[in-house]
Amino acid sequence: MLLSDLPLRTPVAVTSVEDRHPNDAIARRLRELGFVAGEPVQVVARGPVGGEPLLVQVGYTRFALRREEAARVRVEVSAGAEAA
């Protein structure tokens, strides 16, 4: 499942960040911000216009992401995410 498709307040874990092309700066930056395999993540809120931006919590930090950026993050429900 993609982070951009995740229902609100559903605890999951990051499985990967997909590069759209070689040297993908956005994917690299997402990984630098903490979107790494096993990290708990959830969509906390959606913006009023077209549901964008998404307010996403990874670990204890919150970020506003565009849907296009969130669509690079693959997630899955895991035991570690359920405890978060």
Residue 79 has what pLDDT? Answer: 63
Overall CATH class of domain 3-82: mainly beta
Angle subtended at Cα 46 by Cα 45 and Cα 51, rounded to the nearest 5 degrees:
165
Q: Residue 84: what pLDDT?
A: 47
| Identity of the amino acid at 52 | E
Q: What digits encode the pLDDT tens for the residues 3-22?
A: 999 999 999 999 999 999 99
- pLDDT tens digits along 45-58: 999 988 899 999 99
Q: What is the SS3 assignment for 69?
A: helix
pLDDT in tens, 26-76: 999 999 999 999 999 999 999 998 889 999 999 899 999 999 999 999 999
